[in-house]
Structure 1
């Protein structure tokens, strides 16, 4: 048997860390002295302690560490892969943020307040259509009453959310002049821009300080507006959700089934708004359905979702085929478009009583 001090010296975990993992129910001693409360560890526990120390160094969350220790090898490896993807995504975010910081530092040294991005007009129109439905309308949250525009070398990313749903789309850039920049465009500006795009060839978006300008080529029509002076909530953690099921669905069939199917009238706890909730089911055979009854045999998953929100998300993409990603009854539902990478929406589920 090893004392807690010996285990700490040989495992790479501190004494306080060993006590923490014991209290959390992840890794406990083989025996606790009933008189002194002193912890003693079996020799064979050293291997798991060293494993925990390595997982701790790479920032693995406690539930995942527990899963690696207790699950079969296939699940443990899947947990490692998921955490590695999460780290890689975080590194990509860090690189992006540091790139923006460098650009801001360069701009401070050599002031250049203007960024110009050109994108095909039809691509911008499709991106706006894909996110417009998710824009918030609560005047007490002005940052959400508009669309976040992120101008970067890979394109113009548009983000909209009212905190109950999130929509993201990417319009490719054919040219970028100036440092990466982000700005919140008010709903009125967004709608005026959309009205200009039909039939146009290219769209030029200019961010010049607080001024936003969208110009279409050809007749040089333009819309101007002021950026919303608010900070947009960090949406990127929502992009790293790990679904457990991916289902290919026909948009028209799902829309018809939702429209004809039964709903439940439930009150949203956050704001007291009454909503009509559809219950999606996934059978043990992987088939998606809309439930009419409280429950049925052969269901592997049930998830409640605001019917109006889901119908709007299906319609927004204007696609015949969709991919639905589900992570469980309390995980967001993702709607993706197989032919438009970087465009998708997330709907928060409604807890079914």
Structure 2
């Protein structure tokens, strides 16, 4: 017989998904240990698990999956083919409807006046302390997007307003925000998306302690420090309204020693059977839980707590490095709410990670 871990690994389903499908009566284990509650599966159930994984990836409802599995086990090919064909028709109709809605939305966007235009065509000249701008770039660079289909995310947003400069990056799965003080602007709010190569060239110049001059003139951005400067064109696309994305629901706050927490992530359990793919690349999942005494632990393959939060482990390690503090504050909300990583001494610099669902 196969253990639940072996079934998850070989069947393409997560351990938590197998528990869910057991409770739903879709794929029930052959035997459950009455003492430990551990689930065991017959070898022939592996084929059903793989079939179930394929059907769920295709978006088939559980009610239909039950019938498909029943027909598969009873060799009722007509039933299975009929259910597959019916689901395919639903998908095709849904895609047709979605295309119609997106066409309407594109037309509305074309006609709608863009409120960000004035933000991105303004002129601004301001002074920024070099160490603060360097620290802000270091804090956000890791979360910048690289998807060529989303060029507006392939840079760092410089959001200038009053005496503050916010730097923001996101690749949809994570977001980072940092702030630096400025002087000399005093004009209207101005935004520009600086492409990553230009942002990296700016960072290379920030080696001193003196203020540097940042100039935005339409679509051109220039950084001057002493007798050196770097300049280039902005990305030329609108950046999402990040202020709508950083207001998170209240969650549980936990202080962590960064080095200790990093070691726990690097050496602790990962959901190897739940290795996922992002843009075609596999990644490991770490599941976090806040204990009653306020400690954050990395969970093993035991039964999931309903408040556990699962995140991309590599992304979380990147966020710890970018935060650059010996102690950090983690904010964990519901399993579907983003995880926030904050500095205890700087509320304006933080990053957030989108969670990953534990149940497929």
Q: TM-score range by the shorter chain?
A: 0.5 to 0.7
Q: In the alignment, which residue of structure 2 is the partner of 1:167?
A: 176
Q: In the alignment, which residue of structure 2 is the partner of 1:141?
A: 150
Q: In the alignment, which residue of structure 2 is the partner of 1:226?
A: 233
User: In structure 1, how many angstroms separate the alpha carbons of the residues matched to 2:206 and 2:214?
Assistant: 12
| Distance of aligned partners of 1:349 and 1:338 in 2 relative to their CA distance in 1, 3 Å threshold | same
Shift of 1:103: 12
1:201 equivalent in alignment to 2:210: yes
Residue 239 of structure 1: SS of its match in structure 2? coil
Task: Please give the root-mean-square deviation of Cα atoms over the aligned residues, in Å.
Answer: 2.5
| Distance of aligned partners of 1:103 and 1:280 in 2 relative to their CA distance in 1, 3 Å threshold | closer
User: In structure 2, how many angstroms separate the alpha carbons of the residues matched to 1:190 and 1:168?
Assistant: 15
Q: In the alignment, which residue of structure 2 is the partner of 1:279?
A: 287
Residue 245 of structure 2: SS of its match in structure 1? helix
Shift of 1:241: 1.1
| Distance of aligned partners of 1:142 and 1:103 in 2 relative to their CA distance in 1, 3 Å threshold | closer
Q: In the alignment, which residue of structure 2 is the partner of 1:329?
A: 335
Residue 198 of structure 1: SS of its match in structure 2? coil
Shift of 1:233: 1.4
| Distance of aligned partners of 1:327 and 1:225 in 2 relative to their CA distance in 1, 3 Å threshold | same
1:153 equivalent in alignment to 2:162: yes
User: In structure 2, how many angstroms separate the alpha carbons of the residues matched to 1:103 and 1:333?
Assistant: 32
Q: In the alignment, which residue of structure 2 is the partner of 1:18?
A: none
| Distance of aligned partners of 1:166 and 1:103 in 2 relative to their CA distance in 1, 3 Å threshold | closer
Q: How many residues align?
A: 245
User: In structure 1, how many angstroms separate the alpha carbons of the residues matched to 2:147 and 2:117?
Assistant: 33
Shift of 1:262: 1.5
User: In structure 2, how many angstroms separate the alpha carbons of the residues matched to 1:324 and 1:117?
Assistant: 34
1:180 equivalent in alignment to 2:198: no
Q: In the alignment, which residue of structure 2 is the partner of 1:263?
A: 270
Shift of 1:208: 0.5
User: In structure 1, how many angstroms separate the alpha carbons of the residues matched to 2:242 and 2:325?
Assistant: 24
After superposition, what is the alpha-carbon deviation per residue over 1:199-248, rounded to whole angstroms, capped at 9, x for unaligned?
Answer: 241121100011100111xx321110101111111222222112220111
Shift of 1:102: 12
After superposition, what is the alpha-carbon deviation per residue over 1:277-309, rounded to whole angstroms, capped at 9, x for unaligned?
Answer: 11111123322101123237xx57311110100
Q: In the alignment, which residue of structure 1 is the partner of 2:10?
A: none
Q: Which has the higher contact order (CA 8 A, sep 6+)?
A: 2
- 2:130/2:206 contact within 8 Å kept: yes
User: In structure 1, how many angstroms separate the alpha carbons of the residues matched to 2:228 and 2:280?
Assistant: 43
Structure 1: 5+ residue stretches without partners: 1-100
User: In structure 1, how many angstroms separate the alpha carbons of the residues matched to 2:275 and 2:157?
Assistant: 29
Residue 213 of structure 1: SS of its match in structure 2? strand
User: In structure 2, how many angstroms separate the alpha carbons of the residues matched to 1:269 and 1:307?
Assistant: 13
TM-score (norm 1): 0.65
Residue 125 of structure 2: SS of its match in structure 1? strand
Shift of 1:152: 1.3
TM-score (norm 2): 0.64
Q: In the alignment, which residue of structure 1 is the partner of 2:319?
A: 313
| Distance of aligned partners of 1:203 and 1:309 in 2 relative to their CA distance in 1, 3 Å threshold | same
User: In structure 2, how many angstroms separate the alpha carbons of the residues matched to 1:212 and 1:234?
Assistant: 21
User: In structure 2, how many angstroms separate the alpha carbons of the residues matched to 1:309 and 1:210?
Assistant: 31
- 1:117/1:151 contact within 8 Å kept: no
